[in-house]
Amino acid sequence: MIKYFNDSELKKLFSTIESSTGKNQMRDEAIFKIGYYCALRASEISMINVDDYNSLRDELYCKRLKGSNNNTIRIVDRNVLKALKIHIKNNKPENSMFVSQKNNPISRKTLDYLMKKYCSMAEIKDNSKWHFHTLKHTRAVDLGNSDLDLKEIQYWLGHKEVSNTEIYFQFTSQQQKNMYKKLIEKLN
């Protein structure tokens, strides 16, 4: 069973991060928004370097793990882009985009700790969702509910095999709506 945040949980999570205080708030907001938007694993977040971001084109080169395809994602969501730019401006990363307090690339363990912290603060009840990887699953389901086709979503997620992308379609209703719309149009 794939765990993902519903719309309400995702909004509460991001609202909690945005309104949190502390010296790492801007970094955390950028991490979570980029992680969700680009559908990245925690370990993939730690691999993002400053040079992977093309500020002229607002694109982020995403290095993927587990046999997935690296890809470049254009950041068209202004909220995500704003969080990334504020992080860069205020934290001035030099090599790794997201670093720990010890100035090392942020670790998967730290990202899971942050997810647990923010999910608890957001009062997300189902603690089986309190893992950074839940953001990747949530994005995949959200893309499945969009008007993107299977191949476009496969590219976005970096999947080599389309069968890995198809898993998320069992959770979407948009494909069913599109199917019935096509059938109705054909009948009329």
**For the whole prediction, is pTM greater than 0.85?**
yes
Domain locations in the chain as residue ranges? 7-187
The CATH code belonging to domain 7-187 is 1.10.443.10
Q: What is residue 81's predicted lDDT score, i.e. its pLDDT? A: 98
Per-residue pLDDT, averaged over 147-164, amounts to: 90
Burial of 61-74, coded b for 16+ CB within 10 Å and e otherwise, reads ebbbeeebeebebe
CB within 8 Å of 77: residues ≥ 6 apart: 37
The amino acid that residue 150 corresponds to is L
**pLDDT (tens digit per residue) in 29-86:** 999 999 999 999 999 999 999 999 999 999 999 999 998 999 999 999 999 999 999 9
CA torsion, points 47, 79, 14, 25, in degrees to nearest 10? 60
Rounded distance between C-alpha atoms, residue 66 and residue 1, angstroms:
19
